[in-house]
Structure formats: C-alpha cells, structure tokens
Amino acid sequence: MKRALVTGGSGGIGAAICRRLAADGCHVIVHANRSHETAAALVGEIVASGGSAEAVAFDVTDRGLSGAALADLLTGGPIQILVNNAGIHADVVFPGMSGEQWDSVIDVSLNGFFNVTRPLILPMIRTRWGRIVNISSLAGITGNRGQVNYSAAKGALHAASKALALEVASRGITVNVVAPGIIATAMSESTFNDQAIKTLVPMQRAGKPEEVADLVAFLASPQAAYISGQVISINGGLI
C-alpha cells in the first residue's frame, strides 16, 4: 500500500484529496496545522469506510518542526505520494501590502514546499517510484489583482516543480502542478460571491473540491507515469 501525505488535509481541497487517495487504496497521512480535530475526524471517517489513514500536525513554515515530524513519519517507510496543498492568502493591493503579508504567503506555499519535499525526496528516490503534486492557483499563471504575494508564491512553485521534475525524471518520479481557479471552499467563499462567480467563470459555477481531487488522483496514479513538469489548470474555462 502506497503512503500518501497531503499537506493541508484539514482544509476544503485537501480533505477531498485525502478521501479520494484513500478510496484509491493509499494509506493517507492527513496533515493539519491548527485544525487537529478536523484532521482526526477525517481519519476516523476514512477508517470507518474501510480505508487507511493517520493524522499529523505541523507548521510547514517551521523547517525544524517539519523536519522532525517528517523524520518520524519516515520511520514507517517512504512516502511515495506527496501533495503539497497547504496554502494561505492575504489579499491586498500592492501599495498597501505589508512585509508580513508578503512573507507569510510566500512562507506557506513556497518555503513550505521546500520544508516538506526535501526531507521526503531521497527516500522516495530510493524506491524508484514517486508522485509529487503541488497545488498552485490560476493566479500563479495569470496573476491577479490584490494577490501579488499569492501570485508570486504560486508562480515560483511552478518553476520549482519544473526544475525538480527534471532532476528526478530518471528515477520514476513525476512532479506536476494543479492550478485551480475558483473552487468552493472557505478560502474562496471569503473572496467571491455567487454573482461574481457567474460573471467571471464561463461555466457559471465554482469548481468542487472533488473535481480537483479527481485530477490530483490521476496525476498520483501509475497511469500518469509519462506526465511530468506540467502545470494543469482546472478552472471552468476561465482561461
């Protein structure tokens, strides 16, 4: 049974990815930062429906804590599927953006990618099979007003993913990016109302977390062995 770590598994999209990977037969490590109880409840739900899961909690911006938690997880064997999904946004137009708003968003998405992926990569390489899927955003492709920090963090993740994909391609490891548009979770509900979504999105609705999870699960599957270094957007026809 392959072990899969989903960072931000306590959030809207992350939880859908955890459920889907568990349904596909993975042992899922549901990661949270502050929402320990949500992660534990999701583990309970997965196990109750016949799946295999455990919860872990750490702040991906803390390199020491992340390293220690991952070293502990690795004592149970290599993690061959990694979904870097944890992310935050702190939207404000650029002239009003504070250093803290800039740093915090970059810290979770970009430094979090480093802090989680680097400790896992050598054990993954040794197995000669791995799947890394980084959850980005349409804002990382097109940019978005009020999201200079978020667009920068996600755009940098695209470049990092492409570079890492080249490094590990010969070891049976793929690295891809899923860049969602507007997906119905707590994160988007604070930014877009129904009318705005109807106006903006050609399909006139927000995407479902499960639709993102389906794409991630395919990229994490053996069938996606020849897809690497790609940024795939799921956005209802927005671009």
Chain positions contacting ligand NDP, by CB under 6 A: 7-8, 10-14, 32-35, 59-61, 85-88, 108, 135, 137, 180, 182-183, 185-188
**β-pair partners for 150:** none
Decide whether 137 or 161 has the Cβ nearer to ligand NDP: 137
Instruction: Kindly give, in sequence order, each residue whose CB lies less than 8 Å from that of residue 33, ignoring residues fewer than 6 positions away.
Output: 8, 10, 57, 58, 59, 60, 86
Identify which of 15, 44, 130, 127 has the alpha carbon closest to the alpha carbon of residue 6. Answer: 15
Residue 171 per-residue DSSP state: G
Q: Burial of 70 by CB count in 10 Å (0-12 exposed, 13-18 middle, 19+ buried)? A: buried
Decide whether 1 or 186 has the Cβ nearer to ligand NDP: 186
Least distance in Å: CB of 30 to ligand NDP? 9
CA quadruple 177, 180, 181, 182: dihedral, nearest 10: -160
d(CA 99, CA 199): 33
Least distance in Å: CB of 66 to ligand NDP? 8
SS3 (DSSP) at 65: helix
Decide whether 7 or 228 has the Cβ nearer to ligand NDP: 7
Least distance in Å: CB of 17 to ligand NDP? 9
Identify which of 162, 179, 160, 29 has the alpha carbon closest to the alpha carbon of residue 106. Answer: 160
Structure tokens at 172: 């049976």
Is residue 226 flagged as an active site residue? no
Decide whether 121 or 183 has the Cβ nearer to ligand NDP: 183
Least distance in Å: CB of 47 to ligand NDP? 19
Cβ pair 161, 173 in contact under 8 A: no
Decide whether 7 or 80 has the Cβ nearer to ligand NDP: 7
Least distance in Å: CB of 67 to ligand NDP? 14
Cβ pair 8, 224 in contact under 8 A: no
Catalytic residue from among 58, 102, 113, 150? 150
Indicate which residues carry an active-site annotation.
Answer: 150
